[in-house]
Amino acid sequence: MAMAHEFRYERPGTLKEALQLLGEHREKCRILAGGTDLIVNMKEGMVAPELVIDIKDIPDLKEISIHEHEIVIGAGITFADLIASDVIINGFPILHDAAKTVASTGVRSRATLAGNLASAVPSLDSAPALLVHDACVEAASLQGTRMIPIQEFFLGPRKTALLPDEIILSIHLPFPDKKQGEVYLKLGRYGGEDLAQAGWGFVVDADRNYKIAHCALAATPKRALKIEQFLCGKELTPQVISQAKEIMREEIAPITDIRASKEYRLHVSGVMLERGLKAAFDRLQNREVHPQKLLGGIA
């Protein structure tokens, strides 16, 4: 289907060139990485930039670099790259889980983690994984770079803390300082690809520390700090889980839309809380977990 909107296209070979263009055009331009979000939006008339800046030739962006205390995921890294990466599979399995639930193979081959974050849709699958790992988004402009903690990155539906002349350079994920078990669960309508109607990420460790985050259940993805606070140090007995579910009801604000009703999202979130924590514990004990099967409906 033809795109009626006309625009200029640039493919800078260096980060500096890209930042110059960005600084010049600001709100009037858009960054093109995978295009799986931007091209749809442009075709449907939701956005009409006068310039599109294709960043795929910029060398600094296409690596996952491993450092002593953290990994740095470049803005050009796709979901397919994440799924194939050993350090993600072994070091950040929750991000691996989340990456596998995004769209399909032909979209994951292009869609970037950075692009996903920049879209800031409430149902962002990668967000809970980054939230429970206290990730940081490194943003760059002509003025230099700055680190935006992921908790401060999402300001509202489709709104991020990025300034108009900033581009995401990379996402920093600190290595956990002790052994933990983690998992991402996603509620969809059937077995095929879907936007999350509820997404939950869980991290547990042997000292009964818990980190929990969700997406599609509020205006932005968030950490569930009240549940975390309540659970910390406690053994997960049925009574504790039951109380946690009560607290959860206060903490999330699901809406009714054509994908699911508020009541269903609340109800299944309780189920996801219980099963997700258990699955995270299973992973802590090196037991195999298949997150996509945990809610039923799939072989």
Residues contributing to the site for other proteins (CB under 8 A): 1-9, 11, 32, 34-36, 39-40, 43, 52, 54, 56, 80, 103-107, 109-110, 187, 189-195, 258-261, 263-264, 267-268, 271, 295-299
Residue 194 CB, nearest distance to other proteins (Å)? 7
Nearer to other proteins, 1 or 90 (CB): 1
CB 214 within 8 A of CB 123: no
Nearer to other proteins, 69 or 104 (CB): 104
Residue 126 to residue 260: CA distance in whole angstroms: 20
HSE of 98, CA atoms in CB hemisphere, 13 A: 33
Residue 95 three-state SS: helix
* Maximum Cα–Cα distance across the chain: 60
Which residues sit opposite 141 in a β-bridge? 144
Residue 164 structure tokens: 């108009």
Nearer to other proteins, 134 or 282 (CB): 282
CB 269 within 8 A of CB 277: no
Nearer to other proteins, 52 or 169 (CB): 52
Residue 277 CB, nearest distance to other proteins (Å)? 14
DSSP tag of 232: T
Nearer to other proteins, 41 or 209 (CB): 41
Residue 80 CB, nearest distance to other proteins (Å)? 7
Residue 209 CB, nearest distance to other proteins (Å)? 27
DSSP tag of 133: T
